[in-house]
Each structure stands twice: as structure tokens, then as C-alpha cells.
Structure 1
Amino acid sequence: MHVRDILELEERLSFNFFWNEVSETKEGYGLIVDNTGDKNVASIASVGFGLSAVPVGVENGWISREEGYQRAVKTLETFLNNVEQTHGFFVHFVSMKDGKRTWQSEVSVIDTALFLMGALVVGEYFGGEVNDLFESLYSRVEFPWYLDKQVNQIYMGYNFERGFWGHWDGYAEQLIIYILGVASPTYPIDPSVYYSFERKKGKYKDYELIYTYTGSLFTYQYSHAWIDFRNIVDKENVNWFENSTLATLANWEFCKDMHTVYKTLHEKSWGLTACDSPDGYRGDFGAPPSANNNTTHRTDGTIPPCGAIGSVVFTPDIVEETVKYYFEHVPQLWGHYGFKDAYNLDRNWVSKIYIGIDKGIELLMIENYKTGLLWDITMRNKYIKKGLQKLGFHQTNKE
């Protein structure tokens, strides 16, 4: 099978995950499972990716426009009326049945932002009632409530038992928070918040970049699934698209270098990022440069396909070779919804589950690679335009 056909099939089966693994209860309609290992718990981030998948399904002819419209309307109504929230920010993990909090979960700023991006995409795509629902949800979010005014940084998290903790004090997947935050029509934050996180530079081999704490690839991918950073820079002349390309190449080089330690890691099996593992979910798998003196790494030899596939817009040739390798040489990775979450040859292990955010970053990035659809929809939105402009982003002179 040609690699483009494999990518197309992976995108279609990833779409099926979001279309099928959904709640149809009266109070929880449209909620999507966090992962297939527990069908009772939804993740609001999973819903954000799932909503973003709706126009992809329509444009590819997998569902009708009316089916997509109805899914969008009913899902956004669920969030407006039933999903547990405070100050407009949603609880990260909720019950599939009624949208109420599970696992003493946190009220998450980043996962709310991921959900809002999905709501924005369907609002922009369908207009009308869908966009009205997005406007209601977005205007309800009190962005300054999540801001630590002492240091002018967004808090990392909040839950009802312990209050706020941590800060988004370095670069990671949170760029969408600032864009949505400064553009808010009701509760905006100041653009200076975006310039308050530290931009630490590190190097691996020939690749110097502004690194994230774990060096996990998803941190360089998520905001880019919606925001087209290819030809824009901020006031400090940072091009985040180029930065993510360098991070992807550093991750690839590191995995090649680690082949002597771990059988799973090599030139065509790479992409260290958060994923399922033989010891359960790990959010800290990554490659240098990272916060730990830019040298140490966090991996047990587990590789998730979403690590590479989520970077297909950054390093297409390398990713295509990798996708072809997984499909042809690791058949145990393939299942009902395409590539399973991860595998580890040293431990003779293959994940039994599919995780929403991992299927989501694959789906959105494959579509952006093919057509630029998510970028096109997002970048024409008035709030995204306003947010980028307020943050000082402008066109580069490069072709």
C-alpha cells in the first residue's frame, strides 16, 4: 500500500474513533471517551479533537453535513448546560453519562483550551446556531481568574480540594491559551502574559531550539494542529513552526542514537511523547533538549505512532517512511481504529487501547498535511486573527 493511502486509512479510522466512542445519553450527549480502556470516562480534550474532526469527516464524505451539524449542536449544548465547570473552565475528566466530575479531576486550563478550539472550529465551519453556542461558551470563560497576577503567568492547574498550583512558566503546548485569552470578548488577559514565560534554549546535535520541560513531542504539536504558525513570528522574532520542526528532528536523532539501548527506537521508529506504556500512561516520555540539563532523557523504550504522525507537517519525508515501516513491519500495532497507542519490543508489549488525544493529533495533522483544512478554518476566525494581532504576531519576510 502506498504511504499516502496508509495515512488516509489511519485518518479515516481515527475519525471513526471520535464518531463512535461517544455518549448518546440525554445529559452527556457528545462526550467522547478519554481512552477505550474505560468507556465510562470522557476527556474534554478528546471532545475538542473530536469536534475538530467533524469538518474533516464532512469534507472527506465520511458523514453528511447534517450529521456533522447535529453532532456539533448537541455536543456544545451538553457543554453549555451539563458539563461541570467553574468560571467557564471545565473539569478535565467527566462521566460519559452526565458530564459530572470523575477521579477528583482538576479544572483544566489547557484542556478547556483544547475543547474551545474544537468548538471554535465547528462554529466557524457551520456558522449559525453552532457559532452562537461557541460564542456563549467562549464568552463565559473568565481567563483572568486562572492568572497569577504576582508573576503574570497562567497557573498550571486548579482543583476544588487544593486550589491553584504551578505555572505555565516555560514553552509547551499552551500557545492557544494566550491567543484565546487575549481575544476574549468578555474576560481578556493582557498580551504581556504571553511574553512572561521563559524561552529557554537548548541543543541536541545540530538542532538548537526553545525547548519544553519534558521534550515530549505533543508539547510541540498541539497548538499547531489549529494555528498555522508557518509564516508568522512574534515580537521576539520567534517562529514556532520552525521551532517544532527542530524539536522533531532532535527527537528523531535521539531515537536513532538510542537504538543501542532500546530495540524499539531507531530511524524508522521514533517520536517520544506522552502515551500508554507497559506500566500505564506516561506523560513524561521525551527527548533532549529538555529541562533536565538538556542531556538526560525520559524513555523506557516505548514508542507511540502519534509521536511521529503528529509531526507530519514538520518533517513529512521522515514521517512517511516511519508510517510505512509501522504498517508493513509492526502488524501487531494495527487494529480497529488504526494504529494502537504504543509498542515496546524490549518488553514484548503492544498497547491494547486507543487514546483520544493521540488519535486526535494524528487526524488533525494528517488533514493539515493533505489539505490545510483545520488551519484554513481556524485562521479565518475573527478571534484567532485578533488574538495573534494583539500578541504581536506578523508575517515573516521568508517565502
Structure 2
Amino acid sequence: MSMCIVSRSFYHTWFGKFILTFLFALSFICASLGQPAPPTGLDAIGYDSHVELSWYQNAEPNLTSYRIYRSEDQGGFEFLRSVGKLEKSTIDFVGQSELQFEYRITAIDDTGEESAFSNEVNAATFDMTDEQLLTMVQQYTFRYFWDFAHPVSGMARERNTTSIVTTGGTGFGIMGILVGMERGFVSHEKGVERILKIVTFLEEADRFHGVFPHWMNGATGEVVPFSEFDDGGDLVETAFLIQGMLTARQCIKGESPNEVELREKITQIWREVDWNWYRKSVQQVLYWHWSPNYGWKMDHKIKGYNEAHIVYLLAIASPTHPVPVSLYYNGWAGGSYENGGTFYGYPLAVGPDRGGPLFFSHYSYLGFDPRYKKDRYANYFNNGFYHTLINRAYCIDNPENHKGYSDVCWGLTASDDPWGYLAHEPTANRDNGTISPTAALSSMPYTPDYSMDALKHFYRELGDEIWGKYGFVDAFNMDEDWTASSYLAIDQGPILA
């Protein structure tokens, strides 16, 4: 509003004087801002094939971006890229070890003014050992559950584009935090504090006969419907969450007040899960969902073989609401459970032909160690081992002739893809050319050498496209020249835990 068009009567009103005073003050502030201050705290860390830069965010309200400048081996600085004003880090994927770089950055405001240069830093890439590469991948993946956790609840967000939190992914995240504590990514005390924050929040969150929903509001704990009729308890997601909490209870043995309180809270939540309710009180099978609004309308029986093995193990072991052991045989294993076939020369005891998506052999065994354990149907570690080998062999065979598949580029499981989301597996109708890094990497306990080969290929050969602030992105499809920008809690967790 210009003074020349303000009437005398407007100027003499109280409101008019206030508006004019505000506009003069705003003009003075904008004029006084001038050139942005140079960014501070720039740091650079070199890895095998990339350098990560970090800095402190500027305080100017009219900032629009930061510009990154790089010099190689003391040569002249050249502009590398711009990043948005909310960013405080960036990755320079150079694709090679034994390189030396110098960096500095500037800040840009909404008039195009550029600040003076920040401090200058240098970093070098170096040939990392397998152990160092694995630690790097775990540390980056850990960030998803630590840095990107919901600020109120501490729970894991469903994916990197939402504030909705996920119960199963949080169970995986709790186990990931335990790994972070063990590997020194965070202190023991900080890890305990974070898990206690999550568990304390869950005490007051929506539950349905002790069972949590799949999704909830990360600030209030109220259910967020997963689908039209799925607005109540989700027994499978709850089992993944309980698995993570019981793992924490087992690992955190200290007698500090926080540790004692944490174990007590976990025990109480575990005791309150009414597994029997989810068999409709009398059925010989457990049901996935129950809603206070729609009852059993979803009518989804939990029958194997799939990712839900842990549901029956926990239900039978419950200290307060155990289900009869007969449900394991009549419910879980009561359908098309056993296989007995051989695929690519590998035997498969249970599960669909070729094993199905690899997450079948991951989710239930993050907290429950399947080694040296078997029932009348299978040794589940061996089954997971052969399942992984079949999945890899299928990708090597590549019957659908997808681009990129090889002995080091393999792994079909549930993930995002160019058309949405799909449980990818070694069958013609579910193999659309999408490789999900979580598939091979989460199989590390079964096939450490093959999974490590895949890790190196994903990072060193494809990292410029698929490596980011939380590690490997969810998936890629070379047929479609497509790379996901997404990270999902349920795919990040098994890589780490």
C-alpha cells in the first residue's frame, strides 16, 4: 500500500496508523537484510564413493536456497548444485574412491542476493572394507528411525512423505535403535530414552482389545484408517510392534530408573493384547482385523505361509490371553502351507512356489531367531536361506528379460514401483522389473556373501541414483528408467535390524 493513495480519513483511524507503521517497519527490515550471512558450520565427511556435506541453517526469513561449490585437488571452485532453504545437508556422489575435494557454500535470498562463502572444508573418498560399507549402510538407514522419527511420539513414520506413524514399522524401528545403541550410533542412555518415549506414547494410544491399529496420528495416538473398513485393531502389525518391544525388554537389562520403567511398561502392553478376541473367541484361526465400527467385515484369516509367523508364536506365548496350540496347526499351517518342491535346484519346505516375496522370510524373524528351530514342517532358517537363493537365481535367470537383473542386482519383495506399490515376487505376473534393495540387504543373515555383493553393486555402481540421506531408496526399475524417491519404515527396518 503506497502513502500516495491512502486517504486522510484512513490515515487518521487507529487501524490505518497501525497498517502504515507495520508497512514502514517491514520495508525497513527487508532493506536492512541486504546480503545474506554466509552459512556456518560447514563440515564434510568422505566415504567410499561419496562425500556428505552438512551445515547450520541460516536464520534469514527470506532465504530461498544454498549453493554448493566444489574444487577437486586444489583446482578452481565450480558450482555443483543448489539445494532448498530447509536443507542442511547434501550428498555429493562422486562414484570413485581415492579422490580429494574442497567445498564451500553460499546462501541465496529471494532477491537473488548471494552471501559470501562459508568456511572451506575438504574431504577424501577412500576404499572402504566390507565391514565399513555395512556400517555405513546401517548408519544411514538408522537415521530414518532416529532423525526422521515423529517428534511427538518418537514412532516411525509410514514413509518419508507423511507424518502418519506405523505400528509394525515402529517395532522394526525399535530393533533398529537397539542396533544403533550396539554399534555406537547413539549412546545407550539416549536409545533407552527414545524407546521409553515411544512406549509411553503407546500406553495412551488407541487400542482395540489391546491391539493397535496399523496407522495412527503420531501426535495424538488416534487411529488413522488404513482402508475403508480397516479402522480398528491390526493383529499382524501389532505382533511386529510387540516383537520389537519384547526384543528391547530382553536387550535392555540395566537397573537405571528409565530402564526399569521401560521394561515394566513393555510388559504391561504385552499383557494387555487379547489374542483370543482375534479368533472370534472360538475359531481355530486368528483374524487380521477387528473394527469397533465394522466388526469382522474385513474377515481376513491369518494363514501361512507368509510374513505373519510371529503372530501365532506370540499368541501362543501370551502370559494373559494365550490361544490354544491347536491354532498353530489348524490356523497358521492349516491351508496351503507345505511346499516340498525344488526350484533352481533349491528345496523349499513351506510357502508358495519360488517362495513368494522375500519379506516373507524377514519380518517375523527380526526378533525371533529361527536358527536351530524347527516344527513338523520346516527349519525356518533353512527355509529362508533357500527362499533367498531361489529369489536370486530367478533374477539371474531373468525369464521376463528385465533390464539390469544379474547375480549382483537381485531382490524381489514388496515395495513402491513405477505404477504404485506391489508385492514383487518370482512369478510372471508379479515381476515387473522392479528391484528393491531391501530384499537382498535384509537377507544378509541368510546369504551374507551374495547380499554383500549386491550392496556393493547398489552403492558403487548405482549409488548416484539410489543412495540418499537415509541410505538406499525403496526401489528402482531400469526398464522404466525409474527410481523411487521414497523410504518406507517396513523396508528400512529389516536392513538395519
Q: What TM-score range do you get, normalising by the shorter chain? A: 0.7 to 0.9
Residue in structure 2 matching 1:125, options 242, 251, 273: 251
Change (3 A) 1:185 1:20: same
Change (3 A) 1:259 1:11: farther
Q: Deviation of residue 150 (structure 1)?
A: 6.4
Residue 264 of structure 1 contacts residue 302 of structure 1 at CA under 8 Å; is this kept in 2?
Answer: no
Q: Deviation of residue 9 (structure 1)?
A: 0.7
Q: Deviation of residue 357 (structure 1)?
A: 1.0
Residue 95 of structure 1 contacts residue 101 of structure 1 at CA under 8 Å; is this kept in 2?
Answer: yes
Distance, in Å, in 1 between the alignment partners of 2:303 and 2:149 is 35
1:114 partnered with 2:236:
no
1:20 partnered with 2:159:
no
Q: Deviation of residue 108 (structure 1)?
A: 1.2
* Pair member with larger Rg: 2
The answer for the alignment partner of 1:103 in structure 2 is 225
The answer for the alignment partner of 1:53 in structure 2 is 176
* Number of positions where the alignment pairs a residue of Structure 1 with one of Structure 2: 350
Distance, in Å, in 2 between the alignment partners of 1:172 and 1:260 is 24
Q: What is the percentage of aligned positions where both structures have the same residue?
A: 29
User: In the TM superposition, what are the counterparts of 1:242-261 in structure 2 within 5 Å?
Assistant: 242-258=382-398, 261=401
Change (3 A) 1:124 1:194: same
1:322 partnered with 2:460:
no
State the superposition RMSD in angstroms.
1.8
Residue 212 of structure 1 contacts residue 219 of structure 1 at CA under 8 Å; is this kept in 2?
Answer: no
User: In the TM superposition, what are the counterparts of 1:381-396 in structure 2 within 5 Å?
Assistant: none
Residue 264 of structure 1 contacts residue 303 of structure 1 at CA under 8 Å; is this kept in 2?
Answer: no
1:258-306 deviation digits (Å, cap 9, x = unpaired)? 1662103222111100011111222x21125xxxxxxx44121011100
Q: Deviation of residue 151 (structure 1)?
A: 5.3
Matched position secondary structure for 1:276: strand
User: In the TM superposition, what are the counterparts of 1:70-109 in structure 2 within 5 Å?
Assistant: 70-81=193-204, 83-105=205-227, 106=230, 107-109=233-235
1:163-222 deviation digits (Å, cap 9, x = unpaired)? 331212221122211221111111001111112223230432212311148801001111
List alignment gaps of at least 5 residues for structure 2: 1-127, 254-259
User: In the TM superposition, what are the counterparts of 1:131-146 in structure 2 within 5 Å?
Assistant: 131-146=263-278
Q: Deviation of residue 18 (structure 1)?
A: 0.3
The answer for the alignment partner of 1:30 in structure 2 is 154
Q: Deviation of residue 162 (structure 1)?
A: 3.6
Distance, in Å, in 1 between the alignment partners of 2:398 and 2:294 is 40
List alignment gaps of at least 5 residues for structure 1: 289-295, 365-399
Matched position secondary structure for 2:165: strand
The answer for the alignment partner of 1:204 in structure 2 is 343
Distance, in Å, in 1 between the alignment partners of 2:283 and 2:198 is 36
Matched position secondary structure for 2:434: coil
1:131-154 deviation digits (Å, cap 9, x = unpaired)? 100111011000011115665111
Runs of 4+ in 1 over 4 A off after TM superposition: 148-151
Distance, in Å, in 2 between the alignment partners of 1:330 and 1:252 is 18
1:69 partnered with 2:196:
no
User: In the TM superposition, what are the counterparts of 1:153-232 in structure 2 within 5 Å?
Assistant: 153-164=285-296, 165-196=299-330, 197=333, 198=335, 199-201=337-339, 202-209=341-348, 210-212=350-352, 215-232=356-373
Between Structure 1 and Structure 2, the one with more helix by share is 1
1:334 partnered with 2:470:
no
1:292-346 deviation digits (Å, cap 9, x = unpaired)? xxxx441210111000011111111111111111111112110101111110111
Residue 338 of structure 2 contacts residue 377 of structure 2 at CA under 8 Å; is this kept in 1?
Answer: no
Task: Tell me which amino acid in the other structure corresponds to 2:275.
Answer: F
Between Structure 1 and Structure 2, the one with more strand by share is 2
| TM-score using structure 1 length | 0.83
| TM-score using structure 2 length | 0.67
Distance, in Å, in 2 between the alignment partners of 1:281 and 1:260 is 19
Task: Tell me which amino acid in the other structure corresponds to 1:253.
Answer: A
